[in-house]
Each structure stands twice: as structure tokens, then as C-alpha cells.
Amino acid sequence: MVHQKDTSVTRVPKTWFITGSSRGFGRVWTEAALKRGDKVAATARKLASIADLKEQYGENVLTLELDVTKPQQVKAALEQAHTHFGKLDIILNNAGYSLVGTIEEANADEVRALYETNIFGPIAVIQAALPLLRKQGGGHIIGVSSNLGHVTYPVIGYYCSSKWAFESIHESLAAEVKAMGIKVTIIEPGAYATEFGSPESLKFSQGLDIYTDFKAQFVSGLRNLERGNPNATPEALFKVVDAEQPPLRFFLGSHNLPSVREAYRERLATWEAWNEVSVAAQG
């Protein structure tokens, strides 16, 4: 009798640290990770918004109050989570919001506040996590960006700009920590039916009359966008985090690649058309 060797591999549960676990992708991914048997340090600005996770998933979840704009709180939360679970395999930077307003309308304080959450918050998480990941010999940092990290829309230009900055920070980070056994992936969702359009995830600049009609047309166009089902995304995320060689960038959704391909086609055509002038400027 010939005995076949069992080549199946038992999956080792992973431990996650997730910011913005109370709603949207953060909530969906937190629950999906827990349902598959992983452990999660789930964080939110209001602890009450994630209290039910503890009731449902018991010792597999650690709920922590966290405002990513407070670096000392970020550091304390990561250290508490690492001590509690003994390791952190995945750091998922998900917290963020969008500022609605044209480039002229938004004031400096509004833009600074946006960057405090969308850029300086994730930086605080990364900088606090890296010593812990190095100490344990590796890990995976995942930043939730957007297809708007490659293309832009009017009216939410400052939000787009925060995602362009987010992308470059993570790309540089990936090169800097690769030799340390730390992986980096940028998740880039397209339009999804999440709570991202809720008052908690949107802030509005005071409008100027000159842009009223333009913004109305823009908002009307957004309403017609086909939106994906956020509950369809966990399996894709799990394939990324379980991969031996995860991608640096990963689109979520079916519309991202065509729109980005078109954007780069137009950019390349412009650069090519002006190449003679550009080369002459080399001296």
C-alpha cells in the first residue's frame, strides 16, 4: 500500500493591530480576522464603539481607545497590544477621513487637521511599531490608501493629496525595512458602500458661491458611481497578508486599474510630447 504524504499546512493564526476599527473597512476586517481565528488589537477613538467586539470574541480581541493624532497614546496602545498578545504580525493603518472643499475654499487649519489624521497619525503608528517588529524579527505593515493615491478628483483635492503623500511614505518605508524582514503593502480601495460618506468620515469647508454649481455636479456624479460590497473584501486582504511575497500595492475593486491605466497613459503622452523641451533643459 502506498501512503501519500500529507502536504497540507495548518495555518498559524495571526495577530493584528488595526486603527479605525469602529466602522467601514476597519470594522469589516476586524470582524473577519476574528472570525477566521486570528487575534486583533482593535482600536477606535471611542471605546464604546467597539465594546461589543469584546463581548462576542472574548480573549481573541483587545479593545483600545486610540486617537492616532496623539503620538504618546499611539505608542502606549501598540506597546500594550504587543505585551498582551506577545507579538503583532500585522499593523493595519486604516484610520482617516476626507475633507470636502475646493483648493480655494479649504482653510489652512482644515488642511492641517486632515494631515494630522491621514498622514501624521499613520506615521506615529509606523514609528511606534517598527521597534516592536524588529525585536520580534519581522511583521507586515499595511496602509489603507485609495485609488485616489494615483488619480485625483476636484472638490476633494486635499484628501487626494494626503493619499499621494501616504503612498510615497509607504513606498520609501518598504525599501528601508525590507532587510529587517518587515513587509509593507498599500491597500488601494476604489468606491465602496462603507460609512466613509458619513458625517464622522467627512468634513466640509465653508463654501464659496462661485463653486456651488460645480460642486453640485461633482456630487451628483459621485452618487452614480458603482460601489463595491465591503463584505466581499476580506478574502482578498487575507490572500495578501498570507502571501510569502505580498505586493507593495494592491487594488481593491474592479474599476481601479482601468482608471489608473488611463491616467498614466495621459501623463506619459504629455511627457513624451514635451520631451524635446525637457531634454534641452538638461544643458
Q: Is pLDDT at 160 greater than 50 in this prediction?
A: yes
Say what the pLDDT of residue 193 is: 77
- What is the per-residue pLDDT for 153? 92
The average pLDDT across 169-191 equals 96
DSSP, residue by residue, the chain:
-PPPP----PPPP-EEEESSTTSHHHHHHHHHHHHTT-EEEEEESSGGGGHHHHHHHGGGEEEEE--TT-HHHHHHHHHHHHHHHS--SEEEE----EEES-TTTS-HHHHHHHHIIIIIHHHHHHHHHHHHHHHHT-EEEEEE--GGGTS--SS-HHHHHHHHHHHHHHHHHHHHHGGGTEEEEEEEE-SBSSGGGSTTTEEEPPP-GGGHHHHHHHHHHHHTS--B-GGGSHHHHHHHHH-SS--SEEEESSSHHHHHHHHHHHHHHHHHHTHHHHHHTT-
**Does pLDDT of 191 surpass 80?**
yes
Amino acid 85: pLDDT: 97
Tens of pLDDT, residue by residue over 53-72, are 999 999 999 999 999 999 99
pTM of the model: 0.91
Least confident segment among 129-133, 205-209, 243-247: 205-209
pLDDT, tens only, 76-126: 999 999 999 999 999 999 988 899 999 999 999 999 999 999 999 999 999
pLDDT recorded at residue 201: 61
Known catalytic residues are 145, 159, 163
Q: What is the mean pLDDT of residues 11-15?
A: 92
Q: What is the CATH number of domain 15-252?
A: 3.40.50.720
Instruction: Say if residue 237's pLDDT is above 60.
Output: yes
Banded model confidence at residue 245, pLDDT cuts 50, 70, 90 = very high
Query: What pLDDT is stored for residue 5 in this prediction?
Result: 47
